[in-house]
Structure 1
Amino acid sequence: MTMQPQPTGTAGETSLSTDPAAETSPGTPSPGGAPTITGRSPGRAAWDRIKRDRVSMAALVISVLFILVAIFASFIAKLGGWGPITTDGKAINPDTGNYPYGTLGGISAHHLLGVEPGTGYDLFARIVYGLRTSLLVGFASAVLSIVVGVIVGLAAGYFGGWIDSLLSRIMDLMLAFPQLLFIIALTPVLQNSLQTNIHGGTNENLRLLILVLCISAFAWAYTARIVRGQALSLREREFVDAARIMGAGWTHILFKQLLPNLWAPILISFALAVPQNITTEAALSYLGVGVVPPNPDWGALLTDASQYALQDPAYLFIPGILLLVLVLSLNLLGDGVRDALDPRANRS
């Protein structure tokens, strides 16, 4: 009979962690009266830990709520009756420099979060559509950077030798770059050198693509460094040796043997990369090299709002607080996922 190499710690096996709660759970009592012990997969054990953590569950609920709002942005904006670039001339006072009528930036039954000074755009619609932009860039750049980082990290950790030395030096070089400064310098150059639309400006979808590529280009090295360290340890395990003896190729070992055992650090890296990328995108738009008005984006909203901070503070605080809540909830969720997937974490 031919023996098949079996990776350890995959999602389909019983957890081998030192945390008893991650390994077993009481089942149906046996005929003798003693309860049977049912094994749980690492994924199920991690989910049980997250459910017991109130902070992580609250962060998960808030994050899912933001994601649902972004997905159904078109429908939700219609509830307010205004589009993201629809001007309401009756909501701003031309005698005061087009500031909103009323208090708190013109909040009323017609404009749930008020209107923008000068333009008369509905702030609720702008925020809802801007959330879609921020989450799209954040998740897309996180996925791309994770994919590149996993491939590079696996190759460096498994092959070793000159391949590991070369890839490690590239990682060190990318980590040494001041990320935000280089993205600020690089993004306008790429936008101006690529195809422009009929109005002479860069197509908005192309601008978003460039943002995703630039953020990912400087973010993959963090994941690659983590995956490389894990792969260096796993390549000496018995199931990898068994795969080599049976004649398995390097692609099979990398993606069928090593990769399934790395899902925990990969998931943690992704969960922590999303809020960081959202913050980077907002900063780039705030500095004028990201999404360009009148296209809605939270960073661009904060840029415009900074001009009216004294006259209309609600215009600054509303998108600013929402951005804080979004990034904070995603960060807390990432911390919760990291703690849930680490069986050696100190939990009360």
Structure 2
Amino acid sequence: MTMPPHPTDATGEAAALVEDRSEAAADGSAMAAATAIAGRSPARAAWMRLRRDKVSLVALTVSVLFILVAVGAPLLSSLGGWGPITPDNNAINPDTGNYPIGSFGGISLNHLLGVEPGTGYDLFARIIYGMRTSLLVGFLSAVLSTVVGVVVGLTAGYFGGWIDTLLSRIMDVMLAFPQLLFIIALTPVIQNSLQTNEHGGTNENLRLLVLVLNISVFAWAYTARLVRGQVLSLREREFVDAARIMGAGWQHILFRQLLPNIWAPILISFALAVPANISTEAALSYLGVGVVPPAPDLGSLLSDSAQWFLQDPTYLFIPGILLLILVLALNLLGDGVRDALDPRANRS
């Protein structure tokens, strides 16, 4: 006669079955998580960390907005019907020294940010064209200085010996220079020696090229020093030795083995160089050795607004606050990129 299963045995078997299923589910979840982590590229992991940083997202949004406005400056200014050097004589009063007519520097539907005292130029058009100039110089000088710094840093760190000694001494000399002072001294000399336009002045494109070159000449050493230090710590690693054993040339080792492993600090250096270069360009224009009037530029706007501050303070505050927001957003974005690319960053 067959005895029925004992209640305790049935309960034990059910518990064991539930436990097995729980372990299987846990193992499946762990395998799925491991697969997701293993399939996530470093760039995507950095982007996910950046997305969790609200300050960085706001900075990214503001930076993209400024860039879009600068790129679309011709279209935006045409919508208002005013160019950066198109005067509106009806918006200024010649009896009061060409002071803008109306409140807050002549702000109206016709001139969204008012007009420039003395000239009658539309301030909105001047500002957005000035942003384009500042961003163009900032990005181009950052790209050029980063490229030169990466090449010099790779060469010095990998080859070592007298090449490293020579390039390191050159870096030390460049870092010792008072950057802003030498740019102020060199820019007018170079510009005066360049081809002049039909009005007897330097071509505007050549002036921008001189600014980019002068800023880059004194900025590449920072990136080169950073890259050299990274290469010194990587050149004796196993993957580099394996490449040498397999007969890879120095070009392959530098640009296919070492460079992909140091892209994060290079990107961080570039992100932080852009706002610094924009500030330098604005300072040069403020001092009269950058972009000169009537060409629009934020630095020259701030310089011109100083003499009108008591009569029209908005002429100083509007471009000054916008320049502050632009540089601050780019700096915060650079800090966010640095934290996102650091796998040891503690994110909540």
User: Is the TM value for this pair above 0.5?
Assistant: yes
Report the alpha carbon displacement of residue 33 of structure 1 after superposing the two structures with TM: 5.0
SS, match of residue 34 in structure 1: helix
Contact 2:84 2:296 in 1 (8 A): yes
What is aligned with 1:209? 209
2:123 is aligned with what amino acid? Answer: L
What is aligned with 1:154? 154
* TM-score calculated relative to the size of structure 1: 0.90
* TM-score calculated relative to the size of structure 2: 0.90
Equivalent-residue separation in structure 2 for 1:296 and 1:97 (angstroms)? 22
Higher mean alpha-carbon deviation, 179-188 vs 246-255, is at 246-255
Matched, 1:34 2:29: yes
Report the alpha carbon displacement of residue 346 of structure 1 after superposing the two structures with TM: 3.5
Report the alpha carbon displacement of residue 81 of structure 1 after superposing the two structures with TM: 1.6
Contact 1:80 1:124 in 2 (8 A): no
Gaps spanning 5+ residues in structure 2: where?
1-23
2:258 is aligned with what amino acid? Answer: L
What is aligned with 1:283? 283
2:263 is aligned with what amino acid? Answer: W
Report the alpha carbon displacement of residue 79 of structure 1 after superposing the two structures with TM: 1.9
Equivalent-residue separation in structure 1 for 2:234 and 2:28 (angstroms)? 42
What is aligned with 2:125? 125
2:93 is aligned with what amino acid? Answer: N
Aligned positions, number: 320
What is aligned with 1:13? none
- Matches for 1:1-348 after TM superposition, within 5 Å: 34-35=29-30, 36-37=32-33, 38=36, 39=38, 40-348=40-348
Deviations along 1:128-176, one digit per CA (max 9) or x if unpaired, are 1111100000000000000000000000110011111111110010000
Equivalent-residue separation in structure 1 for 2:316 and 2:79 (angstroms)? 23
What is aligned with 2:3? none
Report the alpha carbon displacement of residue 247 of structure 1 after superposing the two structures with TM: 1.2
Equivalent-residue separation in structure 1 for 2:174 and 2:238 (angstroms)? 34
Report the alpha carbon displacement of residue 246 of structure 1 after superposing the two structures with TM: 1.2
Report the alpha carbon displacement of residue 78 of structure 1 after superposing the two structures with TM: 1.4
Equivalent-residue separation in structure 1 for 2:169 and 2:27 (angstroms)? 62
Give the root-mean-square deviation of aligned CA atoms. 1.3
Structure 1 residues 199 and 248 mapped into 2: Cα distance closer, same or farther (>3 Å)? Answer: same
Report the alpha carbon displacement of residue 32 of structure 1 after superposing the two structures with TM: 7.2
Deviations along 1:81-136, one digit per CA (max 9) or x if unpaired, are 21111000000001100000111100001000000000000000000111110000
1:54 is aligned with what amino acid? Answer: K
Equivalent-residue separation in structure 2 for 1:171 and 1:195 (angstroms)? 32
Structure 1 residues 322 and 162 mapped into 2: Cα distance closer, same or farther (>3 Å)? Answer: same
Report the alpha carbon displacement of residue 345 of structure 1 after superposing the two structures with TM: 2.7
Equivalent-residue separation in structure 2 for 1:184 and 1:346 (angstroms)? 42
Report the alpha carbon displacement of residue 286 of structure 1 after superposing the two structures with TM: 0.3
1:181 is aligned with what amino acid? Answer: L
2:141 is aligned with what amino acid? Answer: S
1:299 is aligned with what amino acid? Answer: G
Looking at CA atoms only, which structure, 1 or 2, has the larger radius of gyration?
Answer: 2
Q: Identify the structure with the greater helix proportion.
A: 2
Deviations along 1:15-39, one digit per CA (max 9) or x if unpaired, are xxxxxxxxxxxxxx97975351212
**Percent of pairs identical after alignment?**
80
Deviations along 1:213-232, one digit per CA (max 9) or x if unpaired, are 00000000000010000000
Gaps spanning 5+ residues in structure 1: where?
1-28
Equivalent-residue separation in structure 2 for 1:183 and 1:170 (angstroms)? 18
Equivalent-residue separation in structure 2 for 1:47 and 1:225 (angstroms)? 27
